[in-house]
Structure 1
Amino acid sequence: MSIKGELLNLTWESKFFKSKIAKLVFTSNANIIPINKFQQFDIVETSIDTNKLALLDTLINIGFKLVTTYITFSINIDKIYTDNNLFMNNTNLIFATTNDIKYLKNIAATIFTNTRFRTPWYSIKNQKKLYSTWIEKSIYGRFDNACLLIKNNKNEINGFVTIKRLSTQKTAKIGLLGTIPLFRGLKIGTQLIMTACHWCYINKVKKLYITTQINNIHAIRLYSNIKSQFENSFYWLYRG
Structure 2
Amino acid sequence: MSIHVEPVYADIEPLAWDSQFFGLSTARLNFVSEFSSAKGRITASQLDEYALVQAKIPAQQLHLADQLSALGFSLVEGEADLLLSVNSSSVSSLPAGSEECDKYQALITATPSDIPLLKAAATRVFAASRFRAPWYQPDDSGRFYATWVENAVLGTFDHECLLVNDEYGGLAGFVTMRNIGCHEARIGLLAALPGKYHQGIGKKLMSAAQQWCQNHRIQRLRIATQISNITALRLYTRSGAIIESTAYWLYRGRNDSI
TM-score by length of 2: 0.87
1:159 equivalent in alignment to 2:159:
no
Match for residue 140 of structure 1? 154
Match for residue 69 of structure 2? 60
- The 1-side partners of 2:147 and 2:197 are apart by 23
Gaps of 5+ in 2: 1-5, 94-99, 254-258
Match for residue 89 of structure 2? 82
- The 2-side partners of 1:201 and 1:4 are apart by 42
Gaps of 5+ in 1: none
1:186 equivalent in alignment to 2:195:
no
2:140 alignment partner, one of 114, 117, 126: 126
1:217 alignment partner, one of 208, 216, 230: 230
Q: Where do 4+ consecutive residues of structure 1 move more than 4 Å?
A: none
Match for residue 96 of structure 2? none
- Kept in 1, the 8 Å contact 2:162–2:175? The answer is yes
- The 2-side partners of 1:76 and 1:230 are apart by 12
Residue identity opposite 2:9 in structure 1: K
- Kept in 1, the 8 Å contact 2:8–2:64? The answer is no
Alignment deviations for residues 73-114 of structure 1 (CA, whole Å, 9 cap, x no partner): 11101x2x32479x9852111001111111111110111022
Once the two structures are TM-superposed, the CA of residue 212 in structure 1 deviates from its matched residue by 1.2
Residue aligned with 2:105, SS = coil
Alignment deviations for residues 149-170 of structure 1 (CA, whole Å, 9 cap, x no partner): 001242201000001111x341
Q: How does 1:1-240 map to 2 (within 5 A)?
A: 2-28=7-33, 29=36, 30-77=39-86, 79=87, 81-83=88-90, 89-166=103-180, 168-240=181-253
Matched residues, percent identical? 34
Q: Which has the larger radius of gyration?
A: 2
Q: How many residues align?
A: 236
Alignment deviations for residues 128-162 of structure 1 (CA, whole Å, 9 cap, x no partner): 22111111111000121000000124220100000
